[in-house]
Amino acid sequence: MASKTDNTADPLAFLQGGGAMGALIRAYAWNNTALGAPEAWPQSLKTLSALMLGSTQPMFIIWGTERIWLHNDAMTPVMGKKHPGALGQHALDVVWSEARDALAPLFANVFAGTPVQMDDIALELDRYGKLEEAHFAFSYTPVRDESGAIGGLFGACIETTERVRTEREAKEEGKRFQQLFDQAPTFMAVLRGPDHVFEYANPGYHALVGHREVLGRSVAEALPEAAAQGYIALLDNVYRTGEAYNGRGLKYAVQITPGAPFDDRYVDFVYQPIRDARGEIDGIFVAGVDVTSREFAAVPTRRSPNWPIASAISKTLTSSPTPPPKCSDARLKSAAPVTAPSIRPPRPSTSPATGTCRAYKASPASCTFAITAATSKT
């Protein structure tokens, strides 16, 4: 005697369960379709139907020359308003007629015995009263019946429309930001990983480093002079600690090719750590401005061709056997102002020289030179 749990006598046991779609399939008038009564279905179709109804992944079956459509509960959200009317209908002529041109060649390959798999297919589908772009990752597998012929297609899919849309929007936003960065008057770069590999550099950055090829290369490889000047050590510290670094008026001696002369540049910049979705540092954002002109304006002698001459004159005066007059000398108090911008010593307290010692924050040599210049006019 069969037990109460023995369903071998039930010809529709393979359609048990399956939630709402299981109930719909059991109640459907299959005798009015090319498939006929479920109890007479090929064993391969029965087996796949049981597998489909028991799965939580969106699955479907297309069977026979009439391309009859069946699907499970997980596939219902994918169907939209096509559910539940799609059940038992022709897959191409009725269910997905709006996408026939795209799907027909794929179905033909499967029914010819060739499986099809794609990580992304874009289809224009009418699931909610209008055509909308939809994306799927899927696999179509040919299924043989008892005679060995291809009897149907077994499909499994995952809708990726939202992910694709989100990635596309992020990509478009990235392009907009890149356009802004490209147009920025400052220099910017994005470095990735502990080796600080260039992922992005804007035109301002390329100009700073002499238009060398940097993308895809580490800072050490692309800009070897930066390592020698301590900039990679700063990057390493930011990457390790997660603390941003702000530099102001730092010198960067650019050497475009090995053995070439150095070009001194002065920069204000920030190294800002970049964190991934888990909060871990995976890169550094570099942003700054070339302030070379500002630094030269503050200290004109940085580039003055006369500065070596001024330095020599100052040394000569300080080594003279005749002591120069002191700053308290009465002659200095009545001296007329004098200006010597091309040879004045570093960093006067004001831009023009005044002819008094108070105008300089410098060494005795500087004071001596100022006095000499002032008294020569008396």
- Omega of the bond prior to 84 within 30 degrees of 0, cis? yes
* Number of helical (H) and strand (E) elements in the chain, helices listed first: 13, 10
Q: 156: part of which helix (H) or strand (E)?
A: strand 150-159
Strand partners, 253: 264
For position 300, what pLDDT does the model report? 59
Pick the CATH number of 13-164 from 3.40.718.10, 3.40.50.920, 3.30.70.1450, 3.30.450.20: 3.30.450.20
Strand partners, 136: 121, 159
The 10 Å Cβ neighbour count of residue 108 is: 11
DSSP 91: I
For position 360, what pLDDT does the model report? 35
How does DSSP assign 67-95, residue by residue?
Answer: TEEEE-GGGHHHHGGGTTTTTTSBIIIII
- The residue extents of the domains of the chain are 13-164, 184-296, 301-375
CB 198 within 8 A of CB 190: yes
DSSP 2: -
For position 313, what pLDDT does the model report? 38
Of 18, 89, 9, the C-alpha closest to 48 is 18
Distances (CA, A) of 347 to 211, 301, 340, 369: 33, 9, 13, 14
For position 208, what pLDDT does the model report? 93
Distances (CA, A) of 64 to 69, 70, 145: 10, 12, 10
Tokens 């502990």 belong to 194
The 10 Å Cβ neighbour count of residue 90 is: 17
Q: 273: part of which helix (H) or strand (E)?
A: strand 263-275
DSSP 134: E
Q: Pseudo-torsion of CA 94, 98, 100, 106, nearest 10°?
A: -110
Residues of the chain with pLDDT under 70: 1-8, 299-378
Q: Could you give the CA distance from residue 227 to residue 89 in angstroms, rounded to a whole number?
A: 69
CB 59 within 8 A of CB 52: yes
For position 173, what pLDDT does the model report? 87
DSSP 144: E
Strand partners, 76: none
Classify domain 184-296 at the CATH superfamily level: PAS domain (3.30.450.20)
Q: Would you call 152 exposed, middle or buried from its count of C-beta atoms within 10 A (0-12, 13-18, 19+)? A: buried
For position 312, what pLDDT does the model report? 41
Pairing of strands 59-63, 150-159: antiparallel
Q: Would you call 176 exposed, middle or buried from its count of C-beta atoms within 10 A (0-12, 13-18, 19+)? A: exposed
Q: Could you give the CA distance from residue 287 to residue 204 in angstroms, rounded to a whole number?
A: 10
Q: Is 317 helix (H, G, I), strand (E, B) or coil?
A: helix
Same topology for domains 13-164 and 184-296, yes or no? yes
Q: Could you give the CA distance from residue 129 to residue 33 in angstroms, rounded to a whole number?
A: 27
Per-residue model confidence as pLDDT tens digits over 191-231:
999 999 999 999 999 999 999 999 999 999 999 999 899 99
For position 8, what pLDDT does the model report? 57
Q: Which residues contact 298 (CB under 8 A, 6 or more apart)?
A: 347
DSSP 81: G
pTM beyond 0.85: the answer is no
Q: Pseudo-torsion of CA 233, 235, 238, 240, nearest 10°?
A: -70
For position 124, what pLDDT does the model report? 97
**Distance from CA of residue 346 to its chain's centroid?**
45
For position 295, what pLDDT does the model report? 85
**Number of residues in the chain:** 378
Q: Could you give the CA distance from residue 163 to residue 212 in angstroms, rounded to a whole number?
A: 37
Residue 58's identity, in one-letter code, is P
